[in-house]
């Protein structure tokens, strides 16, 4: 046995002992065998769960195991001891067993030989409803071993995982709008398509592997986050600090006309889950509500607002001025019925005196029918009360000071009474005429 051949067999005995775990005995036996013995005679090689082809330093076939023959029976039938790798690749290409080689056999053969010799690597391919992984591994003396693994179950598990992940992301998108997941080093590992909804110009920023800070800075540099204002660096540092804090406190930012709520949570492995929710409509409703309240507060009429569940919301300055005594009765979360009862019990409602509960019952029925409109005299002032039901079920009570109008009505009535008295006092001497009879 030559020194080169001995080194070759020794290298492979070490490889097999390492791969097989329990093949150390086979490896020792292998050292003692000469090149004239077939490699397949070594006990233990066929127990390795992967298909194996052994190549000598001149890239010629030494042998292969039974697992390879089981995985690729047609390829095994084409192989023989001493066959070169070029002949092996040519035979596989021409056999039609490699889908990607069909129609370009020569090119595929050249690519496979180059990869085998110059850049050993892993390749996956799909054939007959099964997935296979091919790995070339070269040893220091130039010999090589090629592993063939059936990875169908692994690929199926990966596809199932991808499907489950896609469903999870779709579910998050439908509920929240956008989801990002960063690892413990703050690099993006998952990003849902919901981010396109908020701003399509930001979509290309969410590249897997990008850091949170780089995505944030690029968005600010592009002017996609107006909330950064004229002090972008200070805003970035503040936002980054909030991101690192990850206490689940939502941040609401204005992103080019849309309001986005951002909730961040720490994962068990130190990563960060970022959930984006479009709250534009909610924010606009809040702003409209604020404007509505501000308008009510400066209105000349007295106003009380009750929510759809008949709980007190607010009152304006006009009401407090017109009805100071009942204003003191109002308190947060007070119900309309509680307020009505306290008004009756306080003596503020003359017609309720002595029959307070009966009045409250009648008043609540009218309130439910939305038919309350009344005039009342308080402290020498005439007030007009009416209730309006709003679209959301809340109730707006208006209280207007109609004292001047009442005075004008009284003055008009007085004038009319005096005029009628005057007419009646002289009615006996009045002469009337008509078109038909003339004087009568």
| Percent above pLDDT 70 for the chain | 81
The residues facing 315 across adjacent strands are 304
| Average pLDDT of span 110-116 | 85
How remote is the C-alpha of 66 from its chain's centroid?
Answer: 51
pLDDT for 212 equals 93
pLDDT band at 89 (very low <50, low <70, confident <90, very high): confident
Nearest CA among 71, 51, 49 for reference residue 63: 51
C-beta of residue 252 within 8 angstroms of C-beta of residue 279? yes
pLDDT for 247 equals 67
What does pTM read for this prediction? Answer: 0.44
pLDDT band at 437 (very low <50, low <70, confident <90, very high): very low
CATH class of the domain at 158-283: alpha beta
pLDDT over 60 (residue 234): yes
Euclidean distance between CA atoms 280 and 259, whole angstroms: 5
The domains of the chain are located at 3-150, 158-283, 296-405
Residue 228: which residues within 8 A CB-CB, separation 6 or more? 220, 235, 236
Residue 358: which residues within 8 A CB-CB, separation 6 or more? none
The residues facing 305 across adjacent strands are 314, 396
pLDDT for 213 equals 92
What does the pLDDT look like over 396-421, one tens digit per residue?
888 888 888 878 888 888 888 888 87
CATH placement of domain 3-150: 3.30.450.20
pLDDT for 34 equals 33
What does the pLDDT look like over 146-198, one tens digit per residue?
888 888 898 888 888 888 777 776 766 666 667 888 999 999 988 877 666 66
pLDDT for 254 equals 62
Does the fold of domain 296-405 match that of domain 158-283? yes
What does the pLDDT look like over 339-374, one tens digit per residue?
889 888 888 888 888 998 998 898 888 888 776 777
Nearest CA among 1, 4, 69 for reference residue 37: 1
Euclidean distance between CA atoms 298 and 278, whole angstroms: 32
In Å, what is the CA distance from 221 to each residue of 186, 195, 199, 205, 217? 20, 18, 15, 12, 6
pLDDT over 70 (residue 257): no
DSSP category for residue 309: T
Residue 244: which residues within 8 A CB-CB, separation 6 or more? none
| Average pLDDT of span 321-334 | 83
| Percent above pLDDT 90 for the chain | 7
pLDDT band at 88 (very low <50, low <70, confident <90, very high): confident
CATH placement of domain 296-405: 3.30.450
pLDDT for 374 equals 74
């Amino acid at each position: 046995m030559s020194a080169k051949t001995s080194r070759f067999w020794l290298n492979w005995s070490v490889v097999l002992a390492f791969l097989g775990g329990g093949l150390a005995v086979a490896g020792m036996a292998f050292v003692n065998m000469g090149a004239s013995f077939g490699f397949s005679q070594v006990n233990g090689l066929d127990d390795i769960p992967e298909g194996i082809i052994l190549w000598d330093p001149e890239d010629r076939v030494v042998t292969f195991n039974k697992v390879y023959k089981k995985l690729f029976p047609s390829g095994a039938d084409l192989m023989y001891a001493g066959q070169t790798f070029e002949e092996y690749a040519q035979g596989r290409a021409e056999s039609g067993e490699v889908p990607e080689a069909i129609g370009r056999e020569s090119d595929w053969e050249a690519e496979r030989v180059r990869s085998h010799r110059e850049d050993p690597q892993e390749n996956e391919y799909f054939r007959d409803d099964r997935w296979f992984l091919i790995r070339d591994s070269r040893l220091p003396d130039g010999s090589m071993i090629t592993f063939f693994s059936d990875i169908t179950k692994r690929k199926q598990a990966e596809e199932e995982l991808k499907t489950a992940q896609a469903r999870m992301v779709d579910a998050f998108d439908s509920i929240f709008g956008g989801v990002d997941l960063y690892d413990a080093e703050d690099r993006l590992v998952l990003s849902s398509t919901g981010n396109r909804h908020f701003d399509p110009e930001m979509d290309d920023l969410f590249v897997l592997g990008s850091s949170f800070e780089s995505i944030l800075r690029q968005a600010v540099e592009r002017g996609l986050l107006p909330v950064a204002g004229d002090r972008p660096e200070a805003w970035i540092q503040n936002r980054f600090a909030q991101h690192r804090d990850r206490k689940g406190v939502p941040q609401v930012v204005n992103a080019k006309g849309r309001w986005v709520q951002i909730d961040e949570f720490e994962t068990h492995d130190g990563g960060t889950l970022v959930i984006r929710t479009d709250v534009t409509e909610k924010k606009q409703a809040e702003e409209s509500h604020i404007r509505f309240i501000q308008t009510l507060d400066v209105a000349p009429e007295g106003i009380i607002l009750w929510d759809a569940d008949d709980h007190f919301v607010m009152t304006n300055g006009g009401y407090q001025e017109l009805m100071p005594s009942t204003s003191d009765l109002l308190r947060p979360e007070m119900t309309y019925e509680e307020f009505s009862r306290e008004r009756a019990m306080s003596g503020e409602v003359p017609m309720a005196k002595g029959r307070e509960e009966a009045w409250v019952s009648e008043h609540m029925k009218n309130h439910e029918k939305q038919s309350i409109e009344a005039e009342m005299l308080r402290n020498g002032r005439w007030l007009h009360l009416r209730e309006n039901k709003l679209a959301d079920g809340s109730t707006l009570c208006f209280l207007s000071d109609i004292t001047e109008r009442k005075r004008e009505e009284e003055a008009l009535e007085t004038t009319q009474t005096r005029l009628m008295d005057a007419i009646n006092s002289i009615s006996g001497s009045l002469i009337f005429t008509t078109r038909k009879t003339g004087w009568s």
